[in-house]
A = this chain, B = another copy of it.
Amino acid sequence: MEKLTHINEQGRAKMVDVSGKPVTRRVAVARARVCMKPETLSRIRQGNMEKGDVLAVAQVAGIMAAKKTSELIPMCHPIPLRGVDLRFSEEGDSTLVIEAEVKTDSVTGVEMEALTAVSVAALTVYDMCKAIDKEITVEQTCLIRKTGGKSGDFIRKGE
């Protein structure tokens, strides 16, 4: 039977040994949806067009969080990120979509970095809007695709 990785012979968690694995270029894209009241999204959009820009703060927060991934996720390997970008779009009148793309040349993938970036960007939107909308919910935080590495490419079903 397939085994969970990250478990040592004492049945405890470990940071898996990836020494000697080849360095390859790797890319991962993750996404989260931030669902809110239409008025809240409208306010973010306005700020966007002026200077008071919730999304500019979320953008910086997501990028800085990607760099902190291995500090946050206990069994995650520290790797040298080569590029991080976040993009925002809207779905309907009440959903903000956040996508993060992370790149590296390393021995492990950057799925966790992309997921961390969108999660923290989404929480930053929550933080800056919670005075006017406490019901904001983050939905469907997931990996969209990844390329590079031995296990092959992955594209989420339906993407």
- A: which residues have CB within 8 A of B? 2, 4-8, 10-21, 25, 32, 43, 47-48, 50-57, 59-61, 63-68, 70-88, 103-107, 111-112, 115-116, 119-120, 122-124, 126-132, 134-143, 146, 151, 154, 156-157
In the complex the two chains form, is B111's CB within 8 Å of A130's CB? yes
Report B-chain residues with C-beta under 8 Å of the C-beta of A157: 135
Which of B60, B82, B107, B116 makes the CB contact (< 8 A) with A57?
A: B60
CB pair B141–A138 under 8 Å, yes or no, is: yes
Contacts of A156 on B, CB cut-off 8 Å? 134-135
Q: How far is the CA of A146 from the CA of B137 in the complex (A)?
A: 15
13 A-B pairs, CB-CB below 8 angstroms?
A: A4-B54, A7-B47, A8-B85, A11-B51, A13-B54, A13-B56, A14-B85, A21-B82, A61-B72, A64-B71, A67-B70, A134-B143, A141-B141
- Which residues of chain B are near A82, meaning CB under 8 Å? 17-21, 77, 107
Which residue, A12, A56, A68, A103, has most C-beta atoms of chain B within 10 A? Answer: A12
Alpha-carbon distance between A82 and B53 when the two chains are bound, in angstroms:
22
Residue of B nearest to A104 (CB): B19
